[in-house]
A and B are shown apart, each in its own frame.
Chain A
Amino acid sequence: MSVLIFAELDEGALKKSSLEAIYYGSKVAELTGSSATAIVLGEGNADELAKAGRFGATKVLHASDPKLNEGNAMAYASVVAEAAHQEGADIIVLAKSSLGDSMAARLAGKLKAGLAANVIELPDLSNGFRVKRSIFTGKAFAFTALTADTKILAIKKNTLTPEETDAVATVEAFKPTLNEADFAVKVTNVEKATGDILLPEADLVVSAGRGLKGPENWGIVEDLAKALHAATACSKPVSDLDWRPHHEHVGQTGIKISPNLYIACGISGAIQHLAGVNSSKVIVVINKDSDAPFFKSADYGIVGDVFDVLPRLTKAVKEL
């Protein structure tokens, strides 16, 4: 019995969400009286692997084959399945992400494992194995028993606040059998904003809606985001109008986020938008319409013109 955590590298560094998953996995190991092993795929340096130890893994399996540098869900699922067999892991933990989600689904099929997505608390072991997960995009929670021998938990951001220690993990090279059929999908091109804070990983998010009146006005949103080291996001109409790229759209049919702080500028707060952001710890709403429904779901509100308020907030952040 052990806990295996799938930890993702992004541009050579362990993703923040994966560090949360490692910490979560180490807590599950404590609860089940077992040990937490992290598995890292692709080339990565020793400093990054050591991080896994500081966040709670006692062992790190490193499959460093350069063929695994590209996040390939099918190949990754095969490697993680092989590692799970080797370690006798019956609980597999990962952070939700575009790669993690695809990998976990294949893995569930391979291992006939019960998969719970959007898990938001540590499991309850008092009667079987039960998790609390977010459903209806955060409009409700379901307590779900996982009855299969193998369980996969895909955790939502901010499920636990990780604590970093100076613990050291043993790093072992892991040499999986790579199966040619897992490389049937060829990546021909990748377009990714570099240097930006990735929205699903961000602790702070500044988001804007149609109240900004046009894509040319996004400068004031970006300035505030930059001052705060926040990611930028937008509402569905803004992405539908092509003012902003689709990967910034948060809401029920877009990206679901749970940052520490969500600042909504010129967004009225339709129920579908709220669904995607309502698990944020603190919500700030800035809107010139005092009747905007979003104020009812906010912690702090300013009734005012975003074109006046945002630059002043940016200035105040810089003066902190």
Chain B
Amino acid sequence: MKILVCVTSVPDTITKITLTDNNTKLNKAGVQFITGPYDDYALSRAVELKEQLGGTVTVLNVGESDAEPVIRKCLAIGADDAIRVNAEPTDAYFVAEQIAAIAKENGYDLILMGRESIDYNGGQVHGIVGEMLGIPSISPVMKLAIAGTTAQITREIEGGHEELEAGLPLVLGCQEPIAEWKIPNMRGIMSARTKPLKVVEPTGKDTLTQISNYELPPARGACKMIPASEAETLIKLLRTEAKVL
């Protein structure tokens, strides 16, 4: 089983977003970058599958050199090697092109990634990669089991889930509870330092979207407090004042 796991380096979920350069840039000062939480689930499942079925796990990141701590952490968790495409991941189509090019070159049975990156929330890359490779893509995947060349998949849908069956190769966008997050141990951290990390330059430069500037949501007005003893008043206010009932 040859598995490619695509990971993003994104601001920690607890980050309060601030802007800089006249609102044209996100302020990275003091921001802790982490592996995308959904990507972490994908990686953990990939490592489990490798332990179960044998094979290799390659981590791929499209990003600049500041993403390397995240890549090393993925190697410490159990990936065998890593590729970084040296480019700023500004556009889903561009990122998908990079992934598809590497997948065509090396051939993988499974291409896993998070259902979406938690910065831009596009959730498109797996679908575009699937289209570029002419293979199925499925997202968001909550469970994944492999038997031979067939995958059994549980996908979340509104109000429930569906069970799917598909032949490999596949591109999957993953989410919880596909696996328990793995935490790197000391041996993993030591060995990650010497695992191969190849840096390649991007192919193509098709960006189809371009961000000009950012805005932060307006603050909500003051919270109107209602004493618990008069809780029923809330319902009246929601109807007459807020007009949502």
Contact = CB atoms under 8 A, between A and B. Distances in A.
A192 B237 contact: no
B85 to A, nearest CB: 18
A219 to B, nearest CB: 18
Interface residues of B, number: 82
Interface string A86-128: 0000000000011101101110111011111110000000000
Nearest to A134: B121
Interface in B165-203: 165-167, 175-177
Contact of A198 (B17, B92, B159, B167): B159
A137 B124 CA distance: 15
Interface stretch (A21-29, A34-42, A141-149): A141-149
Contacts of B238: 261, 282, 284, 300
20 contacts: A98-B140, A98-B155, A101-B139, A109-B131, A117-B121, A117-B122, A139-B217, A140-B19, A145-B211, A146-B209, A187-B164, A191-B160, A199-B159, A204-B244, A271-B13, A282-B244, A295-B223, A298-B220, A302-B231, A320-B245
A168 interface: no
Contact of A187 (B162, B209, B216): B162
Contact of B226 (A74, A145, A199, A302): A302
A140 to B, nearest CB: 5
Given A146-B209, A261-B244, A99 B162 contact: no
Given A189-B163, A191-B161, A281-B244, A299 B228 contact: no
A313 interface: yes
Interface stretch (A47-55, A57-65, A210-218, A246-254): A246-254
Contacts of A101: 123-124, 139
Nearest to B124: A105
B165 A145 contact: no
A241 to B, nearest CB: 12
A105 B128 contact: yes
Contact of A105 (B127, B142, B162, B228): B127
B215 A302 contact: no
Contacts of A167: none
A299 to B, nearest CB: 6
B127 A116 contact: no
Nearest to A297: B220
Given A106-B131, A141-B215, A253 B162 contact: no
Interface in B4-63: 11, 13-17, 19, 26, 37-38
Contacts of A295: 223, 225
